[in-house]
C-alpha cells in the first residue's frame, strides 16, 4: 500500500513528468520514474524523485532552459529533492560504458544551488542510471522503459560501483556523507551478488543478513531511517568497503 508521503512524491513526479513531456513535444519518447519511488523504500525527507527523460535528437537550448525552470519551481512534495537526467533515444538505446548525457538537473534540500550539466559527451555513471531505470522504473509519460532503454551489461555496473568503492576508501572520515557511502555500498554489493537493484534500506537489510557484524551498515540504516544524529564509525565504514571490494573482485567469493 502506498503511504501518504509516497503518494505526495508520486503526485509531484507526475506533474514534473507531464510538464517535461509537454516541453519536449514531438521529440519526447518517455519520462521514467525509478529509484525508491518505483522500486520501494521511499522515505520522506530522505529520498529523491528520480526521473529519466528520453528524447529523440536532443533538446534545443530553449527546451533545456524550460525544463530547468520546471525543476527549479517544482513542488517536490515529501521528497528530499529531484534528480532528472535527459538522454537521447540513441544513447538510451545503445549500451555504452559512458553514454552521452543531454541534461542533468539536481535539486536537493541540503543545497540551495541547482546542479546543471549540459551536453556531456561521456558520463560514466549514466550507464548505472539507465540500468536502474530499465529494471525497476515505470513510465509516467510515453513509452515504457523496455521500449527505450537497451540492457546494460551487469559487469559495467559492477565495475563502476567498484570505482566508487575505491574512491570512498580514502574518504571514510567524511562524517557528513558516511551513511550515504555505507548504504550505497550495500546497493553495489547486492547488485554484484544477485544482479538486483534495490533501495538503500533493503540493501542494508540484505547486507546485515549476510554479515551481522557490519556495524557501519547498522549505524547508517539507523541514521537514515529514524535518528539523523547517529554517527557512522569511520573504522566500520572502512571495514565495510574492504569487505565489499573483496566480495566484488572478479575472482572474489561472489563471482
All three cell numbers of 248:
566484488
Same domain flag for 12 and 27 = yes
Average pLDDT for runs of 10 along the chain of length 255: 77 96 97 90 88 97 98 93 97 96 92 92 98 96 97 98 98 96 98 95 96 97 93 98 94 48
Residue 87: name the closest of 117, 60, 56 by CA. 56
Same domain flag for 78 and 196 = no
pLDDT of residue 221: 96
Last residue of a domain, one of 128, 148, 168: 148
Same domain flag for 133 and 23 = yes
pLDDT of residue 254: 44
Same domain flag for 238 and 163 = yes
Same domain flag for 102 and 160 = no
What are the DSSP calls for 106-138, one per residue? EEETT-SSPEEEEEES--TTHHHHHHHHHHH-E
Same domain flag for 138 and 173 = no
Last residue of a domain, one of 132, 148, 164: 148
Cβ-proximal residues to 94 (8 Å cutoff; 6+ apart), any chain = 150
pLDDT of residue 9: 92
Q: Is residue 188 part of a domain?
A: yes
Could you list the residue range(s) of the whole structural domain that residue 125 is in?
4-148
CB 24 within 8 A of CB 57: no
Q: Is residue 159 part of a domain?
A: yes
Same domain flag for 80 and 200 = no
Across 175-195, b (16+ Cβ under 10 Å) vs e yields eeebbbbbbbbbbbbbbbbee
DSSP-derived letter for residue 149 is: -
Same domain flag for 35 and 127 = yes
Last residue of a domain, one of 100, 127, 148: 148
pLDDT of residue 46: 85
Residue 47: name the closest of 11, 3, 85, 83 by CA. 83
Same domain flag for 84 and 20 = yes
Helix (H) or strand (E) holding 142: strand 138-142
Q: Is residue 235 part of a domain?
A: yes
Amino acid at each position: 500500500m502506498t503511504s501518504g508521503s509516497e503518494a505526495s512524491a508520486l503526485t509531484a513526479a507526475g506533474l514534473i513528468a507531464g510538464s517535461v513531456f509537454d516541453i519536449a513535444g514531438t521529440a519526447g519518447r518517455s519520462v521514467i520514474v525509478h529509484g525508491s519511488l518505483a522500486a520501494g523504500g521511499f522515505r520522506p525527507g530522505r529520498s529523491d524523485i528520480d526521473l529519466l527523460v528520453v528524447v529523440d535528437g536532443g533538446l534545443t537550448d530553449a527546451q533545456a532552459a524550460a525544463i530547468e525552470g520546471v525543476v527549479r519551481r517544482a513542488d517536490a512534495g515529501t521528497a528530499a529533492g529531484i534528480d532528472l537526467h535527459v538522454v537521447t533515444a540513441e544513447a538510451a538505446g545503445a549500451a555504452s560504458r559512458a553514454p552521452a548525457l543531454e541534461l542533468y538537473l539536481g535539486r536537493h534540500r541540503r543545497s540551495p544551488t541547482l546542479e546543471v550539466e549540459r551536453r556531456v559527451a561521456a558520463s560514466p555513471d549514466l550507464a548505472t542510471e539507465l540500468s536502474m531505470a530499465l529494471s525497476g522504473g515505470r513510465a509516467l509519460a510515453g513509452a515504457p522503459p523496455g521500449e527505450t532503454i537497451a540492457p546494460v551489461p551487469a559487469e559495467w555496473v559492477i565495475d563502476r560501483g567498484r570505482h566508487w568503492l575505491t574512491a570512498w576508501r580514502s574518504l571514510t572520515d567524511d562524517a557528513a556523507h558516511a551513511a550515504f557511502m555505507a548504504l550505497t555500498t550495500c546497493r553495489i554489493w547486492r547488485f554484484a551478488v544477485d544482479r538486483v537493484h534495490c533501495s538503500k534500506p533493503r540493501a542494508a537489510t540484505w547486507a546485515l543478513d549476510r554479515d551481522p557484524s557490519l556495524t557501519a551498515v547498522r549505524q547508517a540504516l539507523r541514521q537514515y531511517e529514524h535518528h539523523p544524529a547517529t554517527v557512522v564509525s569511520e573504522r566500520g565504514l572502512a571495514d565495510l568497503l574492504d569487505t565489499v571490494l573483496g566480495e566484488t573482485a572478479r575472482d572474489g567469493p561472489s563471482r
